[in-house]
Amino acid sequence: MRKDSIVINNNETFKLFITEEEIRKRISELADELNRDFHDRVPIFIGILNGSFIFMSDLIREITIDCEIDFFKLSSYGDAKISSGDVRMLKDLNCEVEERDIVIVEDVVDSGLSIAYIRNLIMQQNPRSFSVVTLLYKKEVAKVDFPIDYVGFEIPTEFVIGYGLDYAQKWRNLRSIYVLDPSSDGNASTTGED
Ligand code: IMP
Ligand code: MG
């Protein structure tokens, strides 16, 4: 059953923001682009745990070209709603990156610190190419000096949950994406595991 809003701790209200149907449609469009752009390659799709696990699994099933899959697990520690930049690796890759086409799969690019950290790691290993696909992009706050190649939805600088994205580790299992109503008394945090 789809809820139109969710109240957490009696004071924080999250409103339905991007529906399951909208997500499914956009993922199919992103996959069309990826299938076309990499049709003569065998890219490695690298998901960033935990947040990207649902997006990754839905996206990858729309990919029709040969591909491989791996995961990074990162942890970032920060203030309420703000990533601190202290990004740590909790699980490294199992694949060889050299001369491969790497496509990072992210849930959301917020400050851009995580994706910059990952790009730096990957580039040291001489990939053939490096691309990023993110379901959500908070473009107004993201500080990146490289392209975010495939964007599902550009969103305002608000805190969102669902479809893999957590609030204090919960709510990842929501089928749609919900946004914190700024007028509710919110103190949502990204602290902990990504
Ligand atoms: P960064 O600020 O771009 O480094 O984002 C780091 C990570 O914080 C993302 O990959 C998400 O896992 C998490 N994050 C950022 N914004 C949100 C949000 O609005 N809701 C839930 N998690 C978020
Ligand atoms: Mg993430």
Domains in the chain, please, with CATH?
A: 6-180 (3.40.50.2020)
pLDDT for the residue 79: 43
pLDDT for the residue 185: 65
Q: Which residues are catalytic?
A: 110
* Percentage of the chain lying above the pLDDT 70 cut: 90
Mean pLDDT, rounded, for 145-158: 97
111-123 CB burial, b ≥16 within 10 A, e <16? bbbbbbbbbeebe
- The CA-CA-CA angle for residues 165, 67, 38, to 5°, reads 95
Side chain identity, residue 89: M
Mean pLDDT, rounded, for 17-36: 98
Measure 175 CA to ligand 1 centroid, in angstroms.
Answer: 18
Distances (CA, A) of 53 to 47, 84, 127, 146: 7, 23, 23, 24
Q: What is the CA radius of gyration of the chain?
A: 16
Q: What is the pTM of this model?
A: 0.92
Question: How far is it, in rounded angstroms, from Cα 109 to Cα 27?
Answer: 16
Question: How far is it, in rounded angstroms, from Cα 158 to Cα 24?
Answer: 22
Measure 190 CA to ligand 1 centroid, in angstroms.
Answer: 6
Measure 55 CA to ligand 1 centroid, in angstroms.
Answer: 14
Tell me which of 108, 133, 174, 176 to substitute to probe ligand 1's pocket, judged by most ligand atoms within 8 Å of the beta carbon.
Answer: 108
Mean pLDDT, rounded, for 9-23: 93
Backbone angles phi, psi at 187, to 5 degrees: -140, 45
Pocket of ligand 1 (CB under 6 A): 51, 76, 83, 106-115, 159-161, 165-166, 190, 194
How sure is the predictor about 182, in pLDDT bands with cuts at 50, 70 and 90?
confident
Q: What is the pLDDT of residues 37-82, one digit of tens each?
A: 999 999 999 999 999 999 999 999 999 999 999 999 988 654 455 5
Tell me which of 53, 75, 83, 179 to substitute to probe ligand 1's pocket, judged by most ligand atoms within 8 Å of the beta carbon.
Answer: 83
Q: What is the pLDDT of residues 80-107, one digit of tens each?
A: 555 666 788 899 898 999 999 999 999 9
Measure 112 CA to ligand 1 centroid, in angstroms.
Answer: 9
How sure is the predictor about 190, in pLDDT bands with cuts at 50, 70 and 90?
low
How sure is the predictor about 8, in pLDDT bands with cuts at 50, 70 and 90?
confident
Backbone angles phi, psi at 63, to 5 degrees: -85, 125
Q: Which residue has the tokens 């495939």?
A: 150
- For the chain, the average pLDDT equals 91
Closest residue to atom 16 of ligand 1, CA basis: 110
3-state secondary structure (DSSP) of residue 98: coil
Mean pLDDT, rounded, for 113-137: 96
Question: How far is it, in rounded angstroms, from Cα 177 to Cα 42?
Answer: 31
